[in-house]
Amino acid sequence: MIPNLLKSLSLLLVLLILTGCGYHNPNMLPPDKQSRILKLHIPLWSNPTNEIRLASDIHNALQDWLGQSKQFKVVTNSGEADYVLNGKINSVSYTGRAYDAQGKAQALISTLSVSYIVTDTNTGKTAWQSTFALSESYSLQTDTHKKQAVETLVDKLGEDIYIRLYNALSRYEKK
């Protein structure tokens, strides 16, 4: 009897401490406390590189990452959007990383450099902008490895922009 009473009191104490300290699940906020859903328009980015389909691959990755979020809704028309995410693929480079005895490259590092800007459609002001590069190593044994490296870079880019955009627009919206 006493051990059951102690268990019950311990459980009650833990529940009181958790509710008393203000703990709450941030994903379960009441609707009036949740931030509004931001509508984003993502036009196809300019691509002055020789990489065919890179702009459309980045566009698709951004739509996939941002479309998964409850914070963002991707719209097809800039007139419907709260923000427009414009960007430019600055460069794609393939630098040697490992060489054989004859000096022939065995592995490369693929680097993707981009710039992007987020514009508030209501004010026309820049809400946020950034330039950065991502790198991925791959073996030269087959062309498939190069394709996989570029796909990985594009996916990482989509994820990085999603995270950065979420943080930046959360701060911008609070102004």
Closest CA to 92 of 53, 142, 61: 53
The Cα–Cα gap between 142 and 125 comes to 46
Mean pLDDT of the chain: 83
Mean pLDDT along residues 9-16: 77
User: How far apart are the C-alpha atoms of 32 and 20, rounded to whole Å?
Assistant: 22
Confidence of residue 121 (pLDDT cuts 50, 70, 90): very high
Residues in the chain: 175
Domains and CATH numbers, the chain: 36-174 (3.30.160.150)
Max mean pLDDT among 63-77, 94-108, 143-157 falls in: 63-77
Which comes out higher in pLDDT, residue 26 or 146? 146
Least confident of 12-21, 66-75, 89-98: 12-21
Contact present, 106 and 139 (Cβ < 8 Å): yes
Report phi then psi at 24, rounded to 5.
-150, 155
